[in-house]
Amino acid sequence: MIQCFHLLFADLVQCRWEDEARGWGVPLGPPDKEAYKVLHQIEREFMAHHPGGIRTLSVSTVHTIEHAITLAPQLGKVSRLELTDLELEFKVEQVVDFIKSHRMLFGPVLKEISLKKKNLEVMASVNGNGTNSPSLSPKGGAQGSLSTASLFSFGGPAGSPISPTATFPPHSAFLAATGGGTGVISSTPPPVALIQSLINFPRSATTSSVAVPSPAMTVVDAIKGLERLDATGWEDCVLYLDRLPSASLKRLWLSFNVPSSTSSDYVQAEQQLDSLADQLERWRQLEEIKTPIRKGNVFAWAVTEKRSALICAPILAGSRTKRLPKMRQIHLEGPTLDVVDSVRDAAFAFQETLEDLEARSKVRVWHPTTIEWGWRMPRLTRLTLEGEICLYFSLDALNRCPALEELTLATSMRQPQHHYLRQEQQQPPLSPLPHLARGANPGGDLLLFIRSQEIRSIASLKNLQRLRLHGAWQLPDRVLRQIADQCLQLKELTLDQTVGTTIGGVLLGVENMHRLESLELRLDVVDLSLVRVVARKLAFLASIQLTSLAGAHC
């Protein structure tokens, strides 16, 4: 019985065309338009296969929403709705009709929604011969050369249509206003009518989220009692934080890709993130949050409430005063010092309920501060720190995390998995200052040395199952042996460019990790291939990757 289906065929087609556009594959040819017809037919067939057992329904807001409406009377178990193809002009009325029909038939069982804007950016590249390569259309796959009459079918301010013979490169502001488009790049300047239309109808950067209607927010508002919102694939959600439901929201996952300073939405996104603390204080049912941050006071309100609760605990034991949200998952990304303050506050305020804590910092700022806590965190099972923030974290705090099962410490931010699902982006420098962004970093080296003296605390994690260390962490043979002897549940070990370990220490350590299932080593150690000999004794080992930085790949 199929209860959940989600096809990534469209993303794979996109990946193929992007690779070809970059010159990584065969030359670009005519677009296979039939591929998308087959995709949507497959989606409809899956949707019609025992619809009464489907619990998670993935629907294209452009291509398959009509079929979902016809099957609505049979989709009684659907509690999670995934909406893709959130273009500027999608069939919002039909999506809202489906949600309302489902609620009328089965009641408020639809509590979770995932929003994903189609990840097909307009890509126009010019090869060495000066010829133009076809672009990717945001409305379904790769497109070749199209006439401007089919792309720009609207009139200018005076009512005169744009000439069908006019050719010009797609302007970025025009693409944002019309939902994208493709065309053959030409040196001909854009027509005056188009420029006038953009001037006469600009989008103000300071326009409030209430003033600018959002089709996607109309869909969100249609779900009564919404509990879980996954907007990691819809970057514009950060513009409408003040419009999200406050009484029922338990999960809010936002995209970390916030509008840049050159975007027309930058000011609005800045205002929303600046008031994030007020919004979080309003969402009293919230349990999971993934969000970028701009300030370090995101959880300052929670710290105040926690301290009051600790002081007045005997008095408030039987009262009905408001309680802190039972936060279980917190993922943050932002400037280093702001993330440091937010992580410190979150660890204190939600010490009794927090299970998953992840923080990634993007700006290199050296400051004499430390993240540590003197209280127990009995429910914390996952801790991930990426970027400079992990250098500020006192590893001695691990002694107070008895339930920790997964630990990841990376001195630099890693690329996200499944990068083919999103437009590839270059990682910005950690600091705008050239002497900090490049070359030696004595402040970072000093912090890394201090933290490495505390790395022995990892051995105190009796329930640790997954350990990943990325960067120049000092990991002596003695500490690796302690981890092997005391972390008896360890199933996954990744050591990427750690230092201080010899081949003998690696062999002795791996030999005692009897439950190990996955092993990945990238070390500056000679004869690393000898680990394969020892690994043969590990009954559960299913994956092994060895890369000797002192020589060739093992």
Which among 13, 12, 82, 15 has a CA at the least distance from the CA of 47?
A: 82
Structure tokens at 301: 């309100």
Indicate if the alpha-carbon torsion angle 67, 72, 75, 79 is positive or negative: positive
Tens digit of pLDDT per residue, the chain (554 long)? 555 555 555 455 555 545 555 555 544 444 556 666 777 778 778 777 788 888 999 888 888 888 888 888 999 999 999 998 887 678 889 999 999 999 999 999 999 999 998 643 333 333 343 433 333 333 333 333 332 222 222 333 333 333 433 433 443 333 333 334 444 444 444 454 444 444 444 444 444 444 456 889 999 999 999 999 999 999 999 999 999 988 899 999 999 998 887 888 889 999 999 999 999 999 999 999 999 999 999 999 999 999 988 887 666 555 544 688 999 999 999 998 899 999 999 999 999 999 999 999 876 666 667 888 989 999 999 999 999 898 889 999 999 999 999 999 998 876 554 333 333 344 443 333 333 344 456 667 777 888 888 999 999 999 999 999 999 999 999 999 999 999 999 999 999 999 999 999 999 999 999 999 999 999 998 889 899 999 998 999 999 999 998 765 45
Classify the phi-psi angles of 130: left when phi > 0, otherwise alpha if psi is within -120 to 50, otherwise beta.
left
Contact 362, 335 (CB under 8 A): yes
Which among 77, 73, 74 has a CA at the least distance from the CA of 54?
A: 77
Structure letter (DSSP) for residue 31: -
Which among 178, 235, 185, 170 has a CA at the least distance from the CA of 423?
A: 235
Structure tokens at 339: 């993330």
Which among 325, 327, 307, 309 has a CA at the least distance from the CA of 317?
A: 309
Which among 360, 465, 370 has a CA at the least distance from the CA of 409?
A: 360
CA–CA distances in Å: residue 186 to residues 132, 310, 378: 9, 68, 62
Q: What is the pTM of this model?
A: 0.74
SS3 233: strand
Element (H, E) at 21: helix 9-21
Structure letter (DSSP) for residue 333: E
